[in-house]
Amino acid sequence: MRVHGTAFDGVSSQRFEAELESIGDACVLTLADRCFRYARNDVRASRRVGRLGWLFELPDGKRFESAEDFSDAAASTIVAGASGRGIQALESNWRWALIGTATLATLLLLTYFVFLPGLARVLAPVVPTNVLTIVSAQTAKVIDQGYLVGESKLKVAQSLRVSTALEQLKSAVPQLAFDLRVRQGGALGANALSLPDGTIYLTDEAVQVLENHNELYAVLLHEAGHIEQRHAVQGIVTGAGLSLMLFTLFGGVDLTALPLIMLSTTYSHENEFAADKFAAKILLQDGLKPELLADALSRLDGSAAKSKTTTPAFLSSHPGTSERQRRLRAM
């Protein structure tokens, strides 16, 4: 077997016409009327990419390239086990490209809708409590310094309503330890939010709007749902997974911020529904109606609408209130 091509000596950038020939257990490179002899096992053939030609690397730094299209079998007579096929065969076939695209799409959808949320649900309960405490303490600091302004200025009757609702919550969900903090809402307006270690923030504005203590209780139950199911931890897992997925897919191209936000909303919407469901279940056990939460949501929304512009649902962490109410009323 004799192949024609070009060679470089590895010492200069000069290009030579050359031939590579297999003779028994040896390879002979002929270049500029000189012959170089190598043991067949010392010659390396590089794996081919696309239509790029064969490339043989010789032990003394010389390099032989050939544009001739010869088979793997032929190449093997020069270098034992030389193979351009394998991966290259997959790459050169459109059928495989299509199968690859379809498989990839299926895998991505499965990861997004099944594996990643599943992994988050499995990992969330395993995270030790002290990790939750550390993470929550950080967030609490940020919230206290930035978003929520000042101590609560509730009237006595309003404070009483809060403690009644809190007692209801404690007896309904005895397995969790809660730390309820009432603050002036500032930019957050009428709102409630929870941290994974059991801390619940409730704003004065929310207490003012929710005149019925059962509605207040329903909102606290919703937050307890987030804490019970460790949605914050799940969010860290899914967020990390999504970043990794986007990085693998688009590596060098920096388009990742917006898609990440849009893709995360599916998970956070699911969490809101799950927390609603948690609250509705306990309300029913107490002989109360899930509508209480639906009504509370309208009130909170109504007060928020005055101060805030609305974010489209596909960019917002929370699903639309009307959809949540529809589901609550159906329970």
Partner 1 sequence: MENNDVVPHPVTFGGSASEYFRIWIVNLLLSVCTLGIYSAWAKVRSRRYFLGNTILAGSGFDYHGDPIKILKGRLIMAGLLVLYGFAGRISPIGGGIAAVLFLAIFPWLLVRAAMFNLGNTSYRGLRFGFQKDYKGSYAVFFKGIAITIVTLGLGFAYARFMDMRFRISRSRFGKTPFVFSGTATEVFGIYAKASGIVALALILCGILIGIGGTLGSSNSEFDLRSVGAMVGMLTIYPSGLIAMAMFNSRLFNYKTKSTTLGPIRFQSTLRMRDLSGLYITNLLAIAFTLGLALPWVLVRMHRYRVSRTTVLATPADFDAFASGSTENSGAVADAAADFWDIDLGL
Per CB under 8 A, contacts with partner 1 among 246-265 are 248-250, 252-253, 255
85 burial level (CB within 10 Å; 0-12, 13-18, 19+): middle
Is 145 a binding residue for partner 1 by CB under 8 A? The answer is no
What is the total count of residues that contact partner 1 (CB under 8 A)? 44
Q: Which of 90, 114, 177, 262 binds partner 1 (CB under 8 A)?
A: 90
Per residue, the 3-state secondary structure of 125-147, as one string, reads HHCCHHHHHHHHHHHHHHHHHHH
What lies within 8 Å, CB to CB, of 264 at 6+ separation is 235, 238, 239, 242, 317
Q: Which of 92, 158, 268, 321 binds partner 1 (CB under 8 A)?
A: 92
- CA 235 to CA 124: how far, in whole Å? 9
Choose between 77 and 92: whose C-beta lies nearer to partner 1. Answer: 92
Amino acid at 311: T
Is 193 a binding residue for partner 1 by CB under 8 A? The answer is no
Q: Which of 134, 177, 305, 315 binds partner 1 (CB under 8 A)?
A: 134
Is 138 a binding residue for partner 1 by CB under 8 A? The answer is yes
Is 104 a binding residue for partner 1 by CB under 8 A? The answer is yes
Is 87 a binding residue for partner 1 by CB under 8 A? The answer is yes
The alpha carbon dihedral of 262, 227, 277, 237 has a sign of positive
b/e 245-282 (16+ beta carbons within 10 angstroms → b): bbeeeeeeeeebeeeeeebbbbbbbebbebbbbbbbeb
Report the run of H or E that residue 101 belongs to, with start and end: helix 94-110
**Site track for partner 1 across 19-58, x = CB under 8 A:** ----------------------------x-xxxx--x---
What is the DSSP code (8-state) at residue 85? T
Q: Which of 14, 71, 145, 171 binds partner 1 (CB under 8 A)?
A: 14
Choose between 104 and 160: whose C-beta lies nearer to partner 1. Answer: 104
**Site track for partner 1 across 216-245, x = CB under 8 A:** ------------------------x---x-
Is 322 a binding residue for partner 1 by CB under 8 A? The answer is no
Is 147 a binding residue for partner 1 by CB under 8 A? The answer is no
- CA 95 to CA 108: how far, in whole Å? 20
Cross-strand bridge partners of residue 29: 20, 36
Q: Which of 35, 41, 101, 159 binds partner 1 (CB under 8 A)?
A: 101
Cross-strand bridge partners of residue 5: 18
- Would you say how long the chain is, in residues? 331
Is 305 a binding residue for partner 1 by CB under 8 A? The answer is no
Q: Which residues of the chain form contacts with partner 1 (CB under 8 A)?
A: 6-15, 47, 49-52, 55, 61-63, 87, 90-94, 96-97, 100-101, 103-104, 107-108, 134-135, 138, 240, 244, 248-250, 252-253, 255
